[in-house]
Amino acid sequence: MLGLIPMKAAAKEINQALGIPLPWRFLRDKNLLGAMVRRRDARAFALLLYLWKNRKSRDPAFPLNYAATAMALGMDRMTPEGYRRQINKTLRKLDARYGLIEAKTSFGKNASIAFRRDIAWNGPGARIPHAFWDYGWNRILSPAGIVMYLI
């Protein structure tokens, strides 16, 4: 007997296979993606993509594992204090400068991250395929290169 996959579960699997969604507002707002590319803010863009990739869509806030984040961003050769300092600096930038997240950091503990509600994170937009990370493009491409990759 064949088992049937419920429609919602099947749609979720298809969406997961297509990649990580990037909302239109982020892509089109010159003060968000446009500003990151203009400023050559590669670390902020890379961290934001990493957070999107690893977030749980139903959780309003989630903990950030510094060691895993450092490895994903290519900072794993730094000391733990060094990469924590750099990640916290970038989290503050994503919070204060771009207004994309709310980050709560405390000494010796994982940061708590929440995406701002005024951006439709699960709405329509472009998708970054999983191959982007599988082939290491996240470590090689500049923000402008990532935008070209999306096109």
Higher per-residue confidence, 141 vs 123 = 141
Helices (H) and strands (E) in the chain, counts: 9, 5
Amino acid letter at 29? D
The C-alpha angle with vertex 36 and arms to 101 and 72, in degrees rounded to 5, equals 65
In this predicted structure, the answer to whether residue 37 has a pLDDT above a threshold of 80 is: yes
Q: What is the DSSP letter of 78?
A: S
pLDDT by residue (tens digit) across 68-106? 999 988 898 999 999 999 999 999 999 999 999 999 988
Structure tokens at 18: 């297509």
Higher per-residue confidence, 43 vs 54 = 43
Q: In angstroms, rounded to a whole number, what is the distance separating the alpha carbons of residues 108 and 2?
A: 51
Q: Averaged over 56-68, what is the pLDDT?
A: 80
Residue found under tokens 């096109």: 151
Phi and psi for 46 in degrees, rounded to 5? -65, -40
In this predicted structure, the answer to whether residue 51 has a pLDDT above a threshold of 70 is: yes
In contact, 87 and 71? CB cutoff 8 Å: no
* Residue 136, burial from CB neighbour count under 10 angstroms (0-12, 13-18, 19+): exposed
Mean pLDDT across the chain: 82
